[in-house]
Each structure stands twice: as C-alpha cells, then as structure tokens.
C-alpha cells in the first residue's frame, strides 16, 4: 500500500495516480458493466467538466439521488475533482424529509434517477436553491417526461465533455462530501467530510482488512451510505483492488453474486449477517471464494458463521462522523460480542454524564478524538449549535453506550440517542413523529424502538393519541405515511392510546413506553398483511 503525502489526500490525485500505475486493470464492476482505473480517471474528468460547465464554482453543493450504478461513481469522483461537494441522498427519501435535506445542503444542482422524478415533482415548489436537475435514464429505458418547472437535462450528455483534468486546486482540508445521518432529537444532520477525512476512512479500512491488489470486495449496500463508499470503494482504490457491486441485497442471489464476481471479501451490515444464516445449512455453503467477511455487527455466535461459510470475520465500530476508531484484529481472537480494539491515532474514553472517565466494565458514552487534523467530521452543515454540542469538552460524543473490558476490547451496548436502527438504516424518531403529527386526527405521538421478534434489530413502533372525537385506524395511518416518508420509516407497530406518559415538565417518558414494548393491544402491520410500497 502506498503511503501518500497528506497533500495528496484528495480524490482526484489518488485516482490519477492509480490510473497512471494500473491503467487497464478493472477497478469497479456491476452485472451491467465494468470500468478500469484508467477509464475511471477519464470519465470522472468528463463529469467534472460537465458539472463545471453548468456554472458551478468550487465549494458548491450537488445532491445525488442515484441507485447503485457506474454513473453514481462518475458523479462522486467527478464532483471531487471539480472541487464541488457531493451530497448523496437516500433513495427511499420522499416528502418533507427529502425537501429538508436538499434545502439544508444549499445544493444548486440535483442529479436524480429517472425513477425518482415523481418525488422531486411532489416537493419542487419548496426547493429553494435547485437551478438544474440532471436525469439519469437507464440504458434502453424510454425517456419519461420530467414535467418539472426546474430546468432538466440528461446526465448522459456529460460523456461528451473534455477528458482533460479540470483546472481546480483542491486541498485535503476542502469539503468533499456531506452525508446526512438521521436526526435523533431533531432533523437529519449533514456530516461535513473533508477530502482528508474520506481518504482516512479508506486507508484505515484497507489496512485493517489487509486488502491487497488481488482482492475483489463485494458490496450490496447502497452507494449513498458511508459503508459502500468509504468502507468498500475507497479502501479498494487505496489498495488497488477491485469493487464488485450489486443493486441491493438479495438473500437468494447473494452467494450467486459472490461466485459470479469471484469476490474474496464482502461487506455486510445490520440484518444481512443473521439473514445469511437463515437458510438450512448445506455442505456447499463453504464452496465460495471469500477469505474475509466484514460484518457489522457480527452474527452470534460468529464462529458458527465462519465455520459454515469457510471464511474469517472482521468487524468494527464506527459512524459517519468519526471514521472507524475500533477494529477487530486479524491476528487476535475476537471475544464474542466485541467490536474490536482502539486503533492507533484515536483517543477513546468511556465516560459518565459529566464526561468523567469510567473504569473497565462500566457502561457509559463513547467519546472520541483523533491526533490527525481533518480526519473527523468538520462539523454539521448549517447546524453550528449541534456541532458544538457534539464536540463539547473538545471530544466528539458518539451518543452510543459502550464498555471496555480489562483487555481493552470494546463492546457496544445500546444507543443513548433517541434513534431507531432498522435493517441497517438509522431512523429519526423525530422525523417520523413530525409526519404522523400532521395527520388531522392525531393529537400527539411518540416513536420508539422495539425488538424484532426474530432478528436482533429494532422495529419501529408509534404510540398515538387521537384528538377528541376523532377516529383513525392503523390501516388509515399506513396509507397516510406511504407518500410522506421513506418506506423504512413507516412503523410496523401502532398503539392507539388515551394518553402518553409524561414528566412533570410535560416531556414524553419514552423509557416507560420502551419498557412496555409490545402489548396485547399493539397492532402489527405484518400480521395485518399490509405491504409497504417502496
């Protein structure tokens, strides 16, 4: 692995260096096509010049609402080369959540898959800064009328621009990306990531997964998430390896994809690990090319997973804001339930409510800082008060409850913040509540996490109090939610209550609601046979 000078921790410089060295070696492949390192350099230059041709200036923001395909990669890298800031958006977002993120980012241009144009139409009157929409139409697809008042053009036109490197001076401290993480006590927050931060993500992950030029790293996670970008694509770029990407996770196609691409490493997040164990065991399970599975969190017991599929598991703890400060060590036995040890460069503490460090074995909040400038978040975009709150006492506060044992292994316990984690997605209870509260029959509501009866992850439950004289069924609430929030935000469980438990200052006691969990009067969407449209 090349150790680059920090001045070269810029995506355009890394791509150029790899293209000169590796030329026609495959860098990225999907079932639909592949691109070499040299082609990636060429095409990303064209896209950089295409974006600059729209009149954008260094530091301007561009939102990407794109699925897993090569054009997503060209946009990401092209924007980085042009000194522009890419803002990847979860393709499940719609309604007020989508409008808020586009407006908060102050993006001037939006790149969107044709399939999501109707969502932009739904909110276009509320978009404050978007001057241009670029539409990606899949090969062979009929061009659909955009029917937008905002100017629209085809993304494919960018292939006609010059392949000369753009004349933009990009510094490692410059803002590269803003990734929005689901809010917990407020709206989603835009994590500002410098070029150095993104490179550090890739370098750290590449090192601790021992990636080599012979590796092919498979991911079925979405490109708008930090995992597919910074724990798969960028590490492979650093290690001169290959990326293989699927459109989405499919249990029936997972191992078929692994064999098709010849993957030696794969990334799995959330429920994917447990789901891979659900089919009956077969002697053929270990007949695959994988040497290492990077799984967060590890299936329990993880040794059974390793034995069944004939591979080794690696895991980690991290978040969009702070990189990956904890990693399992490939040369040491991972204790069951641990997410690893602190890696060099990071300082970690487990603290109480006053930021006083706790002894081994005591559960508290994990706080983090790093010795290298620009390798943690640069703040939350347009939310200075939230940045100060997170960085109080000059440490970043993760909001996660953890402990470490006497051998310095770290263990994740729970989320201190009021968020829900469902099928690998962070869900803001605040945002779900904000939508449901707009229903004309709802007086107030509270969203909490309850455990999935089968998997080890959270499901969303909403407790609702209706206005006097109003009637609303859970089925009606589902219909109300469908066009107004991402599919994975929509609660599985509904409890209609006479009142919510409150503190003396009239705050809802969510802890009490969590303790009750699922009751005999809780309505279950899945048992009712209601399917959610994506």
pLDDT for residue 314 = 97
pLDDT for residue 1 = 66
Q: Does the structure show a pLDDT above 80 at 67?
A: yes
Reduced 3-state DSSP string for 114-144? HHHHHHHHHHHHHCCCCCEEEEECCCCCCCC
How far is 198 from 233, CA to CA, in rounded Å? Answer: 11
Q: Does the structure show a pLDDT above 90 at 208?
A: yes
DSSP per-residue string spanning 326-364: EE--TTSPPPTT--BEEPTTEEEEEE-TTSPBPPTT--E
How far is 401 from 386, CA to CA, in rounded Å? Answer: 19
Q: How confident is the model at residue 129 (pLDDT cuts 50, 70, 90)?
A: very high
The residue among 132, 127, 128, 117 whose CA lies nearest residue 62 is 132
Asked if 229 and 199 count as a contact pair (C-beta separation under 8 A), the reply is no
Buried/exposed code over 282-309 (b: 16+ C-beta within 10 A; e: otherwise): eeebeebebebbbbbbbbeebeebbeeb
How far is 389 from 76, CA to CA, in rounded Å? Answer: 30
For residue 270, CA distances in Å to 221, 288, 457 come to 11, 22, 8
pLDDT for residue 456 = 63
Least confident interval from 50-64, 174-188, 279-293, 420-434: 420-434
Q: Does the structure show a pLDDT above 60 at 504?
A: no
pLDDT for residue 416 = 76
Q: What is the CATH number of domain 198-372+382-415?
A: 3.40.50.12780
Which of helix, strand or coil describes residue 311? coil
Mean pLDDT on 158-172: 97
Angle value at C-alpha 457, between 451 and 462, nearest 5 degrees: 50
Q: What is the CATH number of domain 420-524?
A: 3.30.300.30
Share in percent of the chain as helix, strand, coil (round to 5) = 30, 25, 45
How far is 209 from 123, CA to CA, in rounded Å? Answer: 42
For residue 118, CA distances in Å to 97, 121, 125, 354, 507 come to 15, 5, 13, 48, 38
pLDDT for residue 301 = 85
Whether 6-170 and 198-372+382-415 share one fold: the answer is: yes
Residue ranges per domain, the chain? Answer: 6-170, 198-372+382-415, 420-524
Least confident interval from 7-11, 53-57, 71-75, 464-468: 464-468
Mean pLDDT on 197-221: 97
Query: In this predicted model, what pLDDT tens digit does every residue of 344-377 receive, in sequence order?
Result: 999 999 999 999 999 999 989 999 999 999 999 9
Long-range Cβ contact pairs of 345-350 (< 8 A, separation 24 or more): 345/370, 345/371, 345/372, 345/375, 346/370, 346/371, 347/371, 348/410, 349/395, 350/402, 350/403, 350/404
Q: How confident is the model at residue 16 (pLDDT cuts 50, 70, 90)?
A: very high
How far is 52 from 303, CA to CA, in rounded Å? Answer: 51
CB contact set of 93 (below 8 Å; sequence gap of 6+): 65, 101, 119, 486
Asked if 325 and 368 count as a contact pair (C-beta separation under 8 A), the reply is yes
Name the burial class of residue 497, with classes exposed (0-12), middle (13-18) and buried (19+) by CB atoms within 10 angstroms of its CB: middle
Query: In this predicted model, what pLDDT tens digit does every residue of 385-443 receive, in sequence order?
Result: 999 999 999 999 999 889 999 999 999 876 776 667 777 677 878 778 888 988 999 98
Q: How confident is the model at residue 26 (pLDDT cuts 50, 70, 90)?
A: very high
Asked if 85 and 61 count as a contact pair (C-beta separation under 8 A), the reply is yes
pLDDT for residue 139 = 82
How far is 487 from 25, CA to CA, in rounded Å? Answer: 39
E-only strand ranges, 221-328: 242-245, 265-269, 292-296, 312-314, 316-319, 323-327
The residue among 191, 444, 415, 438 whose CA lies nearest residue 321 is 191
Asked if 220 and 194 count as a contact pair (C-beta separation under 8 A), the reply is no
Q: Does the structure show a pLDDT above 80 at 221?
A: yes
Query: In this predicted model, what pLDDT tens digit does every residue of 226-253 receive, in sequence order?
Result: 999 999 999 999 999 999 999 999 999 9
6-170 CATH, one of 3.30.365.10, 3.40.50.2300, 3.40.50.980, 3.40.50.10540:
3.40.50.980
pLDDT for residue 184 = 47
How far is 14 from 198, CA to CA, in rounded Å? Answer: 12
State the pTM of this model: 0.84
Count of beta carbons in the 10 Å neighbourhood of residue 30: 17
Q: Does the structure show a pLDDT above 60 at 183?
A: no
Between 138 and 129, residue with greater pLDDT: 129
Question: Tokens 């090569």 belong to which residue?
Answer: 70
Q: How far apart are the first and last CA of the chain?
A: 41
Strand partners, 193: 177
Q: Tell me the two tokens of residue 144.
A: 């659909």
Mean pLDDT on 35-52: 98
Q: Does the structure show a pLDDT above 90 at 2?
A: no
């Amino acid at each position: 692995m090349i150790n680059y000078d920090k001045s070269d921790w810029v995506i355009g410089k890394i791509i150029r260096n790899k293209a000169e060295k590796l030329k026609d070696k495959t860098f990225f492949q999907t079932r639909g096509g592949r691109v070499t390192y040299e082609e990636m350099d060429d095409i990303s230059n064209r896209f950089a010049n295409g974006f600059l041709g729209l009149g954008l200036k260094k530091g301007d923001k561009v939102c990407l609402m794109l699925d897993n395909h090569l054009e997503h990669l060209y946009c990401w890298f092209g924007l980085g080369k042009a000194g522009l800031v890419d803002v990847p958006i979860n393709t499940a977002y719609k309604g007020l959540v989508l409008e808020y993120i586009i407006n908060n980012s102050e993006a001037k241009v939006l790149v969107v898959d044709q399939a999501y144009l109707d969502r932009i139409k739904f909110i276009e009157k509320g978009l404050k800064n978007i001057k241009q929409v670029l539409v990606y139409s899949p090969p062979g697809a009929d061009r659909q009328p955009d029917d937008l008042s905002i100017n629209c053009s085809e993304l494919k036109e960018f292939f006609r621009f010059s392949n000369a490197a753009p004349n933009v001076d990009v510094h490692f401290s410059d803002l590269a990306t803003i990734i929005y993480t689901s809010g917990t006590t407020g709206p989603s927050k835009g994590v500002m990531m410098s070029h150095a931060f993104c490179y550090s993500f890739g370098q750290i992950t590449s090192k601790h997964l021992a990636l080599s030029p012979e590796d092919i790293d498979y991911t079925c996670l979405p490109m708008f998430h930090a995992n597919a970008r910074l724990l798969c694509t960028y590490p492979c770029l650093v290690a001169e390896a290959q990326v293989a990407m699927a459109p989405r996770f499919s249990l029936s196609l997972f191992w078929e994809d692994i064999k098709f691409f010849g993957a030696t490493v794969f990334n799995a997040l959330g429920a994917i690990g447990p789901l891979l164990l659900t089919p009956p065991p077969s002697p053929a399970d270990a007949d695959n090319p994988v040497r290492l599975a990077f799984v967060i969190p590890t299936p329990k017991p993880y040794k059974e997973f390793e034995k069944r599929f004939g591979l080794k598991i690696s895991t980690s703890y991290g978040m969009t804001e702070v990189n990956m400060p904890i990693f399992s060590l490939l040369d040491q036995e991972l204790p069951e339930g641990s997410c690893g040890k602190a890696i060099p460069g990071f300082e970690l503490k487990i603290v109480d409510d006053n930021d006083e460090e706790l002894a081994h074995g005591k559960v508290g909040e994990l706080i983090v800082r790093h010795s290298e400038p620009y390798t943690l978040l640069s703040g939350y975009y347009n939310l200075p008060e939230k940045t100060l709150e997170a960085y109080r006492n000059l440490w970043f506060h993760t909001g996660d409850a953890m402990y470490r044992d006497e051998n310095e292994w770290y263990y994740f316990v729970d989320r201190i913040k009021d968020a829900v984690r469902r099928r690998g997605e962070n869900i803001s209870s605040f945002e779900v509540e904000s939508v449901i509260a707009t229903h004309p029959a709802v007086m107030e509501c509270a969203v909490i996490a309850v455990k999935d009866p089968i998997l080890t992850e959270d499901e969303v439950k909403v407790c609702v109090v209706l206005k006097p004289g109003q009637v609303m069924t859970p089925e009606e609430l589902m219909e109300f939610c469908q066009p107004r929030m991402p599919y994975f935000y929509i609660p599985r469980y509904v409890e209609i209550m006479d009142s919510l438990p409150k503190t003396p200052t009239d705050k809802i006691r969510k802890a009490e609601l969590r303790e009750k969990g699922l009751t005999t009067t809780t309505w279950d969407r899945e048992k009712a046979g209601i399917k959610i449209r994506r």
